[in-house]
Amino acid sequence: MQLKILGGGQLGRMITLAGYPLGVRTTVLDPATDPCAGQVCPHIVGEYEDYRALYELAQSCDAVTFEFENVPVASARWLAERVPVFPPPQALEVSQDRLIEKSFLRDLGVPVPPFAAVETRADFDAALQSIGLPAVLKTRRFGYDGKGQYVLRSPADAETAWVALGGRPLILEGFVPFDREVSLICVRGREGSTAFYPLTENEHREGMLYRSLAPVTDTAEELTERAQEYALRILDALQYVGVLAIEWFQDGGQLLANEMAPRVHNSGHWTIEGAVTSQFENHVRAVLGLPLGSTEPRGYSAMFNLIGHHPPIPQLLALPAAKLHSYGKGPRPRRKIGHVTFVEPTAAQRDQHAAEFAQLLG
């Protein structure tokens, strides 16, 4: 079978690698001349709005998917008139704009932090009045890894935040004093079957994912059930197909949705070794209309991102339990260039390895 992917980064690369054992061949479209997925599958060089490139991508194809949520919706819709495109383009539309996304979630009864739309300085002042401090001002579109946002702690921060971000469509959110951040990776097949990976605990540093632990321990079963129940509402509302990631703030027994990503997700990388079927394989299965695989964990996993640069590969491989994924990308500050996963039979062993590895990373 042939799967075509918009985007040739590490997610496209790992989708491709997951497709190999199933006999699935992939091709990626990416404007870069040397994207890292291009090292493992054919690569068409082209912009995402280049209809000639999109036409070429759509040839001999069982399905088209994407590895990032900022794919132009018009391109996804154009492709969907010709070939099956999953996840559905509507999921892109919702997740590309934080205001549309938060409104969509709220209308489904999924709890979200308080929020208000901000276009003008007058809107901003009114939003600060209604939401109060602390709060987070964010761009509605194209924010990722903590970019395009400003945390306001005192009234004096308003001016600086406005100078930094004003003039673009914005959203002001109440700052959630969360105990921790968790994510739920879900998958829905073409026939509507669904499966969920266990909740994953995520630690961010400087706005970027640093470490994921799964399954979360010391969490009430009820919290997982609630997250899954909210996720089902989202999956059904979008008639979703493929892997969907939902990020949550856990505040005591409460879950508030932060954002969703209509794609495989960094906080699901542990599933490659840590679950019976990885998120990448289940995404391939779902979008091609194949039966979903088991999402059962194989143990207790810890996943660390390698950001910017990493210790020499022999040093990483000297840790017998470490499973290294190097993406074939050069070092650059704040660039995700690989990850390392540990899977252990107990949470205590996992935590010990994680602590040792954190020290090695420094």
Contact residues for ligand AMP, defined by CB under 6 A: 113, 136, 143, 146, 173, 175-176, 181, 204, 207, 258-259
> 257, exposed or middle or buried, with CB in 10 Å at 0-12, 13-18, 19+?
buried
Q: Tell me how far, at minimum, the Cβ of 134 lies from ligand AMP, in Å.
A: 8
Task: Determine the length of the chain.
Answer: 362
Q: Count CB neighbours of 92 within 10 A.
A: 23
DSSP 269: T
Q: What is the DSSP string of 65-111?
A: EESSTTS-HHHHHHHHTTS-BSS-HHHHHHHT-HHHHHHHHHHTT--
Closer Cβ to ligand AMP, 31 or 143, answer by number:
143
Closer Cβ to ligand AMP, 84 or 146, answer by number:
146
Closer Cβ to ligand AMP, 203 or 225, answer by number:
203
ω into residue 215 within 30 of 0, thus cis? yes
Q: Count CB neighbours of 296 within 10 A.
A: 12
Closer Cβ to ligand AMP, 90 or 202, answer by number:
202
Closer Cβ to ligand AMP, 157 or 181, answer by number:
181
Identify the sign of the CA torsion 235, 236, 239, 242.
Answer: positive
Closer Cβ to ligand AMP, 63 or 171, answer by number:
171
Ramachandran quadrant class, 223 (left: phi over 0; alpha: psi -120 to 50; beta: rest): alpha
Ramachandran quadrant class, 334 (left: phi over 0; alpha: psi -120 to 50; beta: rest): left
* Strands 242-251 and 254-261, bridge-based pairing: antiparallel
Q: Tell me how far, at minimum, the Cβ of 104 lies from ligand AMP, in Å.
A: 15
Q: Tell me how far, at minimum, the Cβ of 132 lies from ligand AMP, in Å.
A: 12
Q: Tell me how far, at minimum, the Cβ of 354 lies from ligand AMP, in Å.
A: 19
Q: Tell me how far, at minimum, the Cβ of 333 lies from ligand AMP, in Å.
A: 18
Q: Tell me how far, at minimum, the Cβ of 146 lies from ligand AMP, in Å.
A: 5
Alpha helices in 196-237, H assignment, sequence order: 221-237
Closer Cβ to ligand AMP, 143 or 328, answer by number:
143
Q: Tell me how far, at minimum, the Cβ of 44 lies from ligand AMP, in Å.
A: 30
